Structure formats: C-alpha cells, structure tokens
Amino acid sequence: MKILVVGSGGREHAMVWALARSPRKPMLYSAPGNAGIESLATCMPIKADDIAGLKAFVQAEKIDMTVVGPEAPLALGIVDEFRTSRLKIFGPTKGAARIEASKVFSKEVMASARILTARAQSFDRVASALAYLDQHELPVVVKADGLAQGKGVVVATTREEARQAVRDSMEHAVFGQAGRRVLIEQFLDGEELTIMAFTDGRTVVPMLPAQDHKRLGDGDAGPNTGGMGAYCPAPLATVALSEGVTKQVLYPAVESLSRMGCPFQGVLYAGLMVVKGIPYVLEFNARMGDPETQVILPLLKTDLLEVIEAVVEHRLDQLTVDWHNETAVCVVMTSGGYPGAYTTGLPIHGLPAATNRGAMVFHAGTRRAGSEVVTAGGRVLGITGCGKTLAEAQAEAYRVTRTISFEGAHYRTDIAHRAFARHA
Ligand SMILES: Nc1ncnc2c1ncn2[C@@H]1O[C@H](COP(=O)(O)OP(=O)(O)O)[C@@H](O)[C@H]1O
Ligand SMILES: [Mg+2]
C-alpha cells in the first residue's frame, strides 16, 4: 500500500512516524516533507497547496491514500478535487473545512448546534466595527474571518489597540481577503485546552486531551508563536469535561455540518477555553494541531492507518481506538529571533540517528544540505518524551533536547508547568 502525507512540519513528521509503525508496512511518500520525514518516506518537491501537482503525482505513482496535514490545501478544495477523480483522501471537503477557514461560518455552525462559545458579532464595514468597539467592554478580541496563519487574532486590552486591529485587518488588508470581515468577540478568562477527534461524519472518536504553549517564553511570557510545546493528556480535562465536550461540542458540530449539506470527515479540532470548569469553544480547526499531534500520536495504540481507513470508508463505528496509558511532553526548539525575523541554513548538531517511542525528534523546519541537516524555519524541531508519569516524560524530552544544538536555538524550559501546578 502506498500513502502520501501532504505537508512539511512537525505534525506531518509525527503522522509519517505513526504510519511507519503500521504492521501493514505501507510505502510512505511526503510532499514536500523535510529532513526528518526523509528518513521514513520518499519526499517529493511538490508544495502542499499545489493541488494539481499533488494529484498528478498520486495518479502517476498509483498512491492508494492521501493524508492531508495542513489547512491550506483543505480550504482550497484538495479533497473535493481528489474525490472527483476517485482518489482516496483523508480530510474534509472545502465546504466542511470552512469551519476553520471562516470564523464567521464557524460561529454560524455553533449557533445552529447550540455550542457554548464566546459572544461575537461579525462586520464587513469598518465604520460599524469601530462603532461597535466603542460600546464593548475590555479586554476585547478582534479576529480576522479567514486563514491568517495564526496571526489574525488580537486580544486587545485598550480600545485604541482594538481599533488598530480592525483597521489593519479591514482597511490595510494585512491578511489580504482573509481579513475583509472581522469578528469582535467577548474575552474569556480561563485555561486553554485542545480536544481533537477523528470523525467519518457520523461517529466521533475523541483523542486524548492536550494543552499547547503559545507564548515564546517561560511562564507564558512574550509574544505568541505557532506553539512552543505541548503535553498530553492534560489533567484539566477531567473525564466529565471530556465527555461533555464529546456530547455537547464535537457531536453537535459534526451533526450540524451534515445538516448544512457539508458532512465532515477527518480530524475536527476544538480549541477550548475552560472557564470555571466549563468549556467554551474558541475555534474549530479542520485538521490536526501542531504541536499537539506530536504528543498525541505517540500515545495512540491503534494503528493510525486503520483509523484513517475507517474514517474514509465511513465505518468508524466498527473500530475501537486504544491509547497507551502514558504521558507525552513535546519541547519545540526554535530559531533565534522567532517569531520575528531569523536566519536559516544553520547546521544542527547532535541529531540522533533513529527515533524510538521513548523519545522522538520530530523535524518541523529542517532540510538536508549535503551531508548536514540545517535549519529551514522558525520552529525547527519538536522533541517528544514519553513516560509513565508527566515528570518522566518531561525529563526525557528535556534530556534529549539538551543533546541537540544549533546557533541561536531557543526553547522553553517549563513545558507542562500548568499540569504540575494542578497536581501540586
Ligand atoms: N474569546 C477569547 N477570549 C480570550 N482569548 C481568546 C479568545 N479568542 C481567542 N483567544 C486567544 O487567541 C488565540 C488565537 O485565537 P484562535 O481563535 O484560536 O485563532 P487562530 O488559532 O486562528 O489564530 C487563542 O489560542 C487564545 O489564546
Ligand atoms: Mg487557535
């Protein structure tokens, strides 16, 4: 069996890694992949959003299944395009992926499914948005409607900051078309949590709950990033809370999308804010999270390939998905300067030759340059440690992290601190 994984980050490395462990020994391909994925899969220099290029490759190489990592190709309709040509693909259609690609649409789904979320208003005219802001309590959250690579949300503590965010998005078009409409949203004060689920459009199978760390520095200080680390399972998600999210968030969202004529297949990601024990949805994503995937897939006991096939063939109700009774912690190493400007092409030292399930080095922004592996992005590596306890997993992740180096490397030293605080 031949499988293509689309994408080039740490998430995709973790997906390829999980698929490589399948007892069915699939032949793996990735487009475009990275220097870590290369050791497990044949990497093709086709961009993740080059749908025509990907399709031509899949047809020429007779790939049996395509698995989509990032949101951009989903929003462009890669799934619709592949299905039209009878090619098997894991992920939602363009219509269903709007739950991530339009925050306004996502609010409509939540309203129709009666899902708890922050109160919000959408605007497509600057003047009305600014007038509404004048009345709004602070802090207030301004969100670009469309895909903005994680940069489209401003949590404003002053009215001027909020007005600036509206003008940047709507007038100055800093996010292009994606920011032509904005949501102005109530600020929720709580703790964030990620719960993702596999779904075939009917059955929902939640994954273990995870928590990521968006801020650059220890103690959650500094600017927002794509994610500096994660751990799983997150003790914030009690059994009752997780069951509540399955019944009152995930199932209603999936059922609502079906009713709207765009059934969702793939991974539905709920980004939650837990306020006094009650989970509110901040956003939905239409694919796996990064770096959450790097702590969740190492704990998945069931063959990922079996899960993917069950989703694509609409028989998820017949599959039991099992998890290892362990904990995982992922530490992300970034380029100096990230999330601002940074240099690439710096040699990475101390990379282990192979990765086992105890400690895995997932590549995010790397490429091969001759005999060396060099940096090629802001987030460079994600090092995941597994253990019986959170302390063991954390120690293992940091033990391996300390053996790897490149000029200017940065990482947080407190990943999972909230879980330790909760235990204490
Ligand atoms: N209503 C809200 N209240 C408080 N914080 C919020 C709210 N909405 C978003 N945030 C913060 O902004 C981050 C990004 O918002 P999110 O809706 O997840 O958009 P995206 O991931 O597309 O940038 C969240 O992870 C959270 O930290
Ligand atoms: Mg988010």
Q: What is the pLDDT of residues 30-57, one digit of tens each?
A: 999 999 999 999 999 999 999 999 999 9
Residues 10 and 68 in one domain: yes
The closest residue, in CA terms, to atom 18 on ligand 1 is: 283
Q: Does ligand 1 come within 6 angstroms of the Cβ of 141?
A: yes
Q: Does ligand 1 come within 6 angstroms of the Cβ of 282?
A: yes
Q: Does ligand 1 come within 6 angstroms of the Cβ of 378?
A: no
Q: What is the pLDDT of residue 424?
A: 73
- Beta bridge partners, 125, equal none
Report the residue count for the chain.
424
Q: Does ligand 1 come within 6 angstroms of the Cβ of 188?
A: yes
Residues 86 and 130 in one domain: no
Decide if 322 is inside a domain: no
Taking each helix axis as running N to C, give the angle between helix 10-20 and helix 304-312, from 0 to 180 degrees, rounded to the nearest 10: 100
Q: Does ligand 1 come within 6 angstroms of the Cβ of 226?
A: no
Q: What is the pLDDT of residue 135?
A: 93
Tokens at residue 59, please?
Answer: 């047809």
Among all bound ligands, the one having the nearest atom to the CA of 141 is: 1
Measured distance CA(30)–CA(12) in Å, rounded: 8
DSSP for 183-252? EEEE---SEEEEEEEEESSS-EEE---BEE--EEEGGGEEEE-S-SEEEES-TTS-HHHHHHHIIIIIHH
Ligand 1 pocket test, pick from 194, 282, 283, 288 with the greatest ligand atom count within 8 Å of Cβ, gives: 282
Q: What is the pLDDT of residue 352?
A: 85
CATH of the domain at 56: 3.40.50.20
The 3-state secondary structure of 28-44 reads EEEEECCCCHHHCCEEC
Residues 72 and 15 in one domain: yes
Decide if 382 is inside a domain: no
Contacts of 395 (CB under 8 A, 6+ apart): 385, 387
Residues 11 and 66 in one domain: yes
Decide if 352 is inside a domain: no
Instruction: Tell me, yes or no, if the pTM score tops 0.95.
Output: yes
Residues 14 and 88 in one domain: yes
Decide if 254 is inside a domain: no
Q: Does ligand 1 come within 6 angstroms of the Cβ of 118?
A: yes
Residue 157 Cα to ligand 1 midpoint, Å, equals 14
Q: What is the pLDDT of residue 54?
A: 98
Among all bound ligands, the one having the nearest atom to the CA of 273 is: 1
Contacts of 354 (CB under 8 A, 6+ apart): 39
The closest residue, in CA terms, to atom 8 on ligand 1 is: 282
Q: Does ligand 1 come within 6 angstroms of the Cβ of 187?
A: yes
Taking 70 as the pLDDT cut, the residues of the chain under it are 354-357
CATH of the domain at 146: 3.30.1490.20
- Name the one residue in this structure whose structure tokens are 């399948």: 22
Decide if 206 is inside a domain: no
Among all bound ligands, the one having the nearest atom to the CA of 282 is: 1
Decide if 144 is inside a domain: yes
Residues 31 and 76 in one domain: yes
H-helix or E-strand spanning residue 100: helix 94-101
Q: Which of 311, 401, 378 is nearest to 10 (CA)?
A: 378
| Cα 11-287-81 angle, rounded to 5 deg | 110
- Full domain range(s) for residue 59: 2-94
Decide if 208 is inside a domain: no
Q: Does ligand 1 come within 6 angstroms of the Cβ of 155?
A: yes
Decide if 174 is inside a domain: yes
Residues 80 and 38 in one domain: yes
Tokens at residue 3, please?
Answer: 């499988």
Number of domains forming the structure of the chain: 2
